[in-house]
Structure 1
Amino acid sequence: MVTVWIGGGTGSGKTTLTRILAGRHGLRVFPLDAFWHSHEARLPEPERSPDDQWLGLTPVEQAAEFEALARKRWPLVLADLAALPASPPVVVEGPQVLPDLVPDGDAAVFLVSTAPFQRSVLERRPLPPTADAHRALENRIEKDRRYGERVAALAAARGFPVVTVDGTLPVEEILAAVEGVLPGIVGLDVEPADLRAARRWENGVVADNIRTWLGTAHVPPVAPTGYPFACECGARGCDAQVVLPLASYEAATRLVAPGH
């Protein structure tokens, strides 16, 4: 079964696009960011404080460290994928997807933001408390700009399509562009039970990651009161989300959006 990979820079709309794509075509979402802490536990690294991470390293060093960590953890990604059921097919999403690591025969596309659009997105995303919030933000923006350019260059060298996102195109137009370069994802025959189980699995991965993250020093001063979880109705075409506090999600045996 061909796996679909969606990578690219931070703030390029990968998560939103993947959610819609998965709903439309009956795919399981493998959200790489939600595996951050579980992979960290399996391949421990010294944990940096927010000051060390965002102020102690230059943006060039931050980008290089992120890429090195993604490469080191890649065998865990492949092992976790291999452990999943054969149905439904999988779409893997995250900035950790590096073009030269995508298995031969799989489909991949990379989304990269223009610098102004990426800045507008990242300025709205809170960082953990540091000694210099402004410099930390500027370092993060520059790190992610450099990393996005690096991924785009690797994708071009490998012959993978790169979609530039500047905030002017509707999501549907970007989705059409992505669907046009990802062969073999249309018309997949997936049973509703498969999708219900897949969405529950996705939500469990996200919840585990949030739970661990809330116990670290990297939580922003004002933590979110609710988190988006996938609707578990199992209907083909459903890409709805339900925003809930973590405790409310954990108390639910099945999460279904209103009217589903």
Structure 2
Amino acid sequence: MSTGTVWIGGGTGAGKTTVTRMLAGRRGLRVFPLDAFWYSHLARLPEPEPDPDEQWLGQSPQAQAAEFEALTRRRWPLVLSDLAALPSSPPIVVEGPQVLPDLVPEGDQAVFLVATAAFQRSVLQQRPLPETADPARALVQRIEKDRLYAQQIIQLAHAHGHSVITVDGTRSPGSILEEVERIFKVHHGSSVSSGELSAARRWENRVVADNIRTWLTTPHAPPQLPDTYRFACECGVRPCVAVVELPLDVFEGEPRILAPGHLV
């Protein structure tokens, strides 16, 4: 039975988050960022998180990919429960590599963005990893794990009739968004007020901040921490997709996050 939610999944490095934000801004949707529920879901399962050496060096890439998929499946009831607890407005777009094609509710629309191996490698080489005993090998393992997982997503998507968009770095996010919108029949959040959309963006930001706060207490935070983090502008005006980079403590002290010039 369709939930009316739309789903954007795929492998790492394919621009899912960027395209999702653009779609949400244009259509007036709430973003449900699966990555930002990582630690709250682990606490509710509950399951211990392996230390960085165990995760990135102690397992083969094949085992890492299989375990990530298995954990995603164990988390899925929590995802559906969290979605059911949200207001019906604004409509929702769920985004993340944890969207598995065979778990998308029947009748819901889904699309999967998958980077080519070469482009995915170039993206992952720029992303920080937690400190390990062998950083070079950990990176090689991570790249191969993500390649294998992306291939599994492609196979499942084709088997369940969902579209796959290949991303090789030559197309703009806007071009990819246009293809996503051709695939989706997305309901406009035309009846959503700016106040509702602003509240949805605040909710998204709080989810992200809570996840970051927990992540910073774990061994999985990299040695060089960022000074700022990205938060969505909470102006509530469509098609705003602006982000504001702030230290975590500054975000937590602000009642509302607005990009420059977005006072309403």
TM above 0.5: yes
Aligned ranges 1:44-83 → 2 under 5 Å: 44-83=46-85
Aligned ranges 1:171-250 → 2 under 5 Å: 171-186=173-188, 188-250=190-252
Q: Structure 1: state its 5+ residue gaps.
A: none
Q: Please tell me the residue identity of whatever aligns with 2:57.
A: L
Query: C-alpha displacement at 1:189, in angstroms?
Result: 2.6
Task: Provide, for residues 105-130 of structure 1, a one-character-per-residue CA deviation record: whole Å limited to 9, x for no partner.
Answer: 11100000000000000000010010
Out of 127, 141, 145, the residue aligned to residue 143 of structure 1 is 145
Give runs of ≥4 in structure 1 deviating > 4 Å.
none
User: Matched residues in 1 for 2:248 and 2:158: separation?
Assistant: 40
1:117 aligns with 2:112: no
User: Matched residues in 1 for 2:224 and 2:32: separation?
Assistant: 27
User: Matched residues in 1 for 2:115 and 2:61: separation?
Assistant: 17
Query: C-alpha displacement at 1:185, in angstroms?
Result: 3.2
Q: Please tell me the residue identity of whatever aligns with 2:107.
A: G
User: Matched residues in 2 for 1:188 and 1:9: separation?
Assistant: 31
1:105 aligns with 2:107: yes
User: Matched residues in 2 for 1:252 and 1:121: separation?
Assistant: 32
Using the aligned pairs only, state the percent identity: 67
Aligned ranges 1:11-90 → 2 under 5 Å: 11-90=13-92
Query: SS state of the match for residue 91, structure 1?
Result: strand
User: Matched residues in 1 for 2:193 and 2:160: separation?
Assistant: 34
Query: C-alpha displacement at 1:252, in angstroms?
Result: 0.2
User: Matched residues in 2 for 1:58 and 1:138: separation?
Assistant: 11
Query: SS state of the match for residue 44, structure 1?
Result: coil
Task: Provide, for residues 181-233 of structure 1, a one-character-per-residue CA deviation record: whole Å limited to 9, x for no partner.
Answer: 01133464311111011000000000000000000001111011100000000
Q: Equivalent residue for 1:94?
A: 96
User: Matched residues in 2 for 1:248 and 1:146: separation?
Assistant: 39
What is the TM-score when the length of structure 1 is the normalising length?
0.98
Query: C-alpha displacement at 1:46, in angstroms?
Result: 2.3
What is the TM-score when the length of structure 2 is the normalising length?
0.97
Query: C-alpha displacement at 1:47, in angstroms?
Result: 2.1
Q: Please tell me the residue identity of whatever aligns with 1:207.
A: A
Task: Provide, for residues 118-173 of structure 1, a one-character-per-residue CA deviation record: whole Å limited to 9, x for no partner.
Answer: 00000000100101101000000000000001001100110100000000011111
Q: Please tell me the residue identity of whatever aligns with 2:254.
A: A
Query: SS state of the match for residue 6, structure 1?
Result: strand
Q: Equivalent residue for 1:126?
A: 128
What root-mean-square deviation, in Å, do the aligned CA atoms of Structure 1 and Structure 2 show? 0.8
> Number of residue pairs matched?
260
User: Matched residues in 2 for 1:47 and 1:3: separation?
Assistant: 30
